Amino acid sequence: MRRIRQIAFCIVLLLAGFSRPALARAETIAHPDNGAARVEYFVSRPSDDGPRPTIIFLHGYQSPDARLGGKVFVNWGVLDRFAKKGYVAASVSLPGYGGSSGPEDFAGPFTQHAVEAVIKTLVAEGYTSRDKVLIQGVSLGAVTAALVGAHDPDVAGLVLISGLYDFPAYLDHPPSLGALGVKTRFVTQTGGGEDALRSRSALPLAPDIKASTLILNGAQDDRTDPDQARRFAQAILAHGGRARVHIYEQFGHEIPVKAREPEIDAFVDETLKH
């Protein structure tokens, strides 16, 4: 009898092992704009093979002493949580962060092309369904995600948290010390010219966004502008797109995960499992 119990226990362990997604691991690819530069990303996948709906996570600005890049999503358990739900979950270290080569260009072409290269790699490897990709970005990551979504009509969904979508309007009159900090980084990385302002502003590109879009912002955010979140959603809707916005009245730039998680999870499932 004891022997039977031991065998049964081993079978349970084996089955659990087969159903558990692999732990997220770091991988690198060459940057499409510079073969000597590397793009780091982390990926966690369900245990079974085949193309899967995929979520790409993009981090925000990180201070020079804590530049983990996409690894923060590994540390928080985000990638494995979504892999257990049946998604391929990947996070990208934006150029200049983690193991990704610079230069930083504040969500400019070099950053956008790094994200696009990771998506192409996951599709080519057979893990990702090309028409079932959702990009979720926070702050700088939200700026990047919106621009990638505007340039790629195959992106199915966007979750944009605490982002900016109209840089000429925002940086012309920074409303706070936090905004002045954003302006300083923007000018340092891009030169601050008119072309840089326009090319990093997703609002004028709203007609090109085909993805279902969820835009979240804190009403008390001192680094972005909740009114831009509203305007961006309205612009997408005005051109026949699908968008909704949620302004959290009690929060600032950092919207707690527990507050936003239920809404985001429902949106992800609705978008990728439809």
Mean pLDDT for all residues in the chain: 91
Which stretches in the chain have pLDDT values below 50? 1-22
Q: What predicted TM-score, i.e. pTM, was given to this entire model?
A: 0.91
In tens, the pLDDT along 67-112 reads 999 999 999 999 999 999 999 999 999 999 999 999 999 999 999 9
Phi-psi region of 78 (alpha: psi -120 to 50; beta: other; left: phi over 0): alpha
Q: How far is residue 65's CA from residue 34's CA, in Å, rounded to a whole number? A: 26
CA distances to 67, 146, 229, 253 from 139, in Å: 15, 11, 12, 8
Give 22-272's CATH code, choosing from 3.90.800.10, 3.90.650.10, 1.10.760.10, 3.40.50.1820.
Answer: 3.40.50.1820
How much is the pLDDT for 47?
81
How much is the pLDDT for 274?
64
Q: Where are the domains of the chain?
A: 22-272
CA distances to 33, 162, 163 from 196, in Å: 18, 20, 17
How much is the pLDDT for 23?
61
Looking only at the bridges linking them, the beta strands covering 243-248 and 212-218 are parallel
Q: Can you read off the two tokens belonging to residue 266?
A: 């429902």
In tens, the pLDDT along 146-161 reads 999 999 999 999 999 9
